[in-house]
Amino acid sequence: MPGLNFINSFDNLLRISFLLATMKNILIFILFLLPFSNINAQSKHVVLVSIDGFRPEFYLNEGWSTPNLKMLMNKGVYSKGVNSVFPSVTYPSHTTLVTGAYPKNHGILYNAQRDSPSGHWYFEEELITTETLWDAAKKAGLKTGAVMWPVTVGAPIDYNFPVRRADNDETLDQLSVTTPVVTPLTLISDLKKAGIISGDKIQFLDKIDETTGNMSSYILKKYKPNLLAIHFLGADHAQHASGRDSKEAHHEVELIDLEIGKLLKTLSEIGIADSTTLIITGDHGFVDNSKSLSPNVWLSKMGVLTDNKNWQAKFAATGGSAFLYLKDKSLGNKILIMLENLPAEERKLFRIINREQMDKVGADPEAFLALTMNEGIVSNGAYKGMAVNEKKPGGAHGHFPDFSQIQTGFIASGAGIGPHDEIKNMGIKDVAPIISRLLSLNFVSIDGVLPPHILKP
């Protein structure tokens, strides 16, 4: 019937119009999402490995047994020395790695909070005052993971086993302290079921890096995150205890190299090796020492420091450096004159870092000046006794980052990385821009820049 044919045709027309409108809305939605996706990314997965106390010699010198590091260096790009931040210590450095900002801009100025009566460290991500790679990845809808990465408690990381310790307790291996801040909470039970962790202890040195590697492989296999950050601790502890080139340091570095080899194997087994970029870097180098310097002893003799609670001027010691803080601003020049006129045997132990020098590397803006220790010297906060004392030989960091021993290393290999080349004039602040470009994140680095020749054109 003609009328029925007309009705059917009209009905079909309505259906087609509805379908076209639906397709248009879907297309608009897809176009809206494109800026927030990594569809144009040079890499689908980035594994960022930080070796605490990582030095370029570990992969440049034949004396270090690191076949995996050397293989990755020869396949990718590398640096012979990467500048740290000031102070060149773990928590500010690791925050710079994932923000591309200096400490004054990201807010993590030291390992521990200077004015905290409980000695509370900078554990919580909410203390970071600028955007992190985690934030940018979250906005892009990417999956993220982190294992033992500093300043990540409460971070927007999908699979996160952060560093956390009890206040006034140097023990890092207390699962009872860490468990409440692991995300998701089921990750702990999953790791226990897999036999990776047990009881309340993760043993230090040999076991801590093995456990870190095993946790990282587990997260890779089960979740395949787009960004996974891993922090190996053992090399730092060995160099602190025994020095830069001790047999203990060699042992720990060899163990970490083995763990990197296991990570490479995992990437191949789960079929994402060709779409993954592996970046290996660190936070600082190391300087050997056999004497300690207590600059607060000089302030005590001046009568401007009575004890840790009663002071008008005070040095905050942080290993290879000490930062001067003033309640009475008029004391600054008097203390500077005192420092310059110390006996020669004391004056030769340090360099004075002025405010202009500190500003160039984004150090704490509240400090009046800083002292950076010369080789063989480490600072401490004592204000009684002798200013200079002998100590058990060991290693330290925290120094002003302008000499080779305190530099860290850098290797990048895999998806999106350019041909074998040496990257010069690089800082740890430049790592975040590299990762941002690889994953096509909408991320702006305050201080870092993308080094030339590092990525494929």
pLDDT at 175: 77
| pLDDT-based confidence at residue 36 (cuts at 50, 70, 90) | very low
- Whether residues 301 and 370 share a domain: the answer is yes
Q: What is the pLDDT of residues 413-443, one digit of tens each?
A: 999 999 999 999 999 999 999 999 999 999 9
The span from the CA of 121 to the CA of 186, in Å, is: 26
Can you give the CATH number for the domain in which 421 is found? 3.40.720.10
Over residues 24-43, the mean pLDDT reads 51
- Whether residues 114 and 261 share a domain: the answer is yes
pLDDT at 27: 41
Residue in this structure with the two tokens 């083995």, named with its chain if needed: 258
- Whether residues 90 and 220 share a domain: the answer is yes
> Is the pLDDT at 124 greater than 80, yes or no?
yes
| pLDDT-based confidence at residue 42 (cuts at 50, 70, 90) | confident
Inside any domain, residue 378? yes
**Backbone angles phi and psi of 222, in degrees to 5:** -85, -35
> Is the pLDDT at 63 greater than 80, yes or no?
yes
pLDDT at 198: 76
- Whether residues 366 and 428 share a domain: the answer is no
Q: What is the pLDDT of residues 176-234, one digit of tens each?
A: 788 899 999 999 999 999 999 876 665 444 588 999 999 999 999 999 999 999 999 99
Collapsing DSSP states into helix, strand and coil, what is residue 393? strand
Inside any domain, residue 402? no
Over residues 243-261, the mean pLDDT reads 97
- Whether residues 70 and 193 share a domain: the answer is yes
- Whether residues 425 and 376 share a domain: the answer is no
Instruction: Tell me which H or E stretch contains 409.
Output: strand 408-414
The span from the CA of 294 to the CA of 391, in Å, is: 12
- Low-confidence winner among 40-44, 260-264, 313-317 (lowest mean pLDDT): 40-44
Inside any domain, residue 450? no
Asked if 373 contacts 293 with a C-beta cutoff of 8 angstroms, the reply is yes
> Is the pLDDT at 93 greater than 80, yes or no?
yes
Asked if 173 contacts 204 with a C-beta cutoff of 8 angstroms, the reply is yes
- Whether residues 273 and 296 share a domain: the answer is no
pLDDT at 26: 44
Inside any domain, residue 103? yes
- Whether residues 28 and 98 share a domain: the answer is no
Q: Could you tell me which of 216, 224, 225, 171 has the C-alpha nearest to residue 194?
A: 216
Per the structure, the complete domain to which residue 246 belongs is given by 45-286+411-438
Mean pLDDT of the chain: 90
Q: What is the pLDDT of residues 266-304, one digit of tens each?
A: 999 999 999 999 999 999 999 999 999 999 999 999 999
Can you give the CATH number for the domain in which 347 is found? 3.30.1360
pLDDT at 163: 87
| Alpha carbon 125 to chain centroid, angstroms | 12
Inside any domain, residue 444? no
- Whether residues 279 and 296 share a domain: the answer is no
pLDDT at 2: 47
Inside any domain, residue 133? yes
Inside any domain, residue 453? no
| pLDDT-based confidence at residue 148 (cuts at 50, 70, 90) | very high
The number of distinct structural domains making up the chain is 3
DSSP codes joined into one string, 98-140: HH---HHHHS--SSB-TT-TT--BS-BGGG--S--HHHHHHHT
pLDDT at 227: 99
Q: What is the pLDDT of residues 337-377, one digit of tens each?
A: 999 999 999 999 999 999 999 999 999 999 999 999 999 99
**Backbone angles phi and psi of 31, in degrees to 5:** -65, -35
- Whether residues 309 and 356 share a domain: the answer is yes
The span from the CA of 234 to the CA of 118, in Å, is: 26
Pairing of strands 144-147, 313-317: unpaired
First to last CA, the chain: 66
pLDDT at 39: 54
pLDDT at 200: 61
Identify any residues that bridge with 321 across adjacent strands, giving them in sequence order: 372
| pLDDT-based confidence at residue 394 (cuts at 50, 70, 90) | very high
Inside any domain, residue 66? yes
Residue predicted with more confidence, 176 or 51: 51
Share of the chain above pLDDT 90, in %: 81
- Whether residues 71 and 186 share a domain: the answer is yes
pLDDT at 308: 87
- Whether residues 182 and 321 share a domain: the answer is no
